[in-house]
Amino acid sequence: MGDSAAAGGYKVVVDFDLCESNAICMDIAPEVFEVRDDDFLYILDETPGPDQRAKVDDSVSRCPKQAIKVEELDASSDKE
C-alpha cells in the first residue's frame, strides 16, 4: 500500500485555508513542519526522505483540521 508507492517519493501538501496552526504536525515531525513566531505553519521540507514518511503519515492522521495531504510522486516523472 502506501509503502510501495513511497518508493517513488512523496510531496507534503498543506491546505493553508484549513490549517489553524495547531502545531500537532510540528510536534510529530519537527524536521518537516514548523509553526513560527508569527503563528503560521511553514513546511521546511516539501519532499522529505523515506525516513520521515511514518512521521508525515502520522501528522496527516493527527491533524485536527485534516489540512495535510501526501501526494505520491511517480518515480518516472522524477526523471523528466
Residue ranges in contact with another protein by CB under 8 A: 1-3, 20-24, 26-27, 35-37, 39, 57-58, 61-62, 64, 66
Q: How far is the CB of 11 from another protein (least distance, A)?
A: 17
Please classify residue 12 by burial: count the beta carbons closer than 10 Å to its beta carbon, then call 0-12 exposed, 13-18 middle and 19+ buried. Answer: buried
- Residues β-bridged to residue 13: 69
Nearest to 78 by CA among 7, 28, 17: 7
Half-sphere exposure of 42 (CA within 13 A, CB side): 8
Comparing CB distances to another protein, the nearer of 40 and 46 is 40
Comparing CB distances to another protein, the nearer of 42 and 49 is 42
Q: How far is the CB of 79 from another protein (least distance, A)?
A: 26
Q: How far is the CB of 66 from another protein (least distance, A)?
A: 7
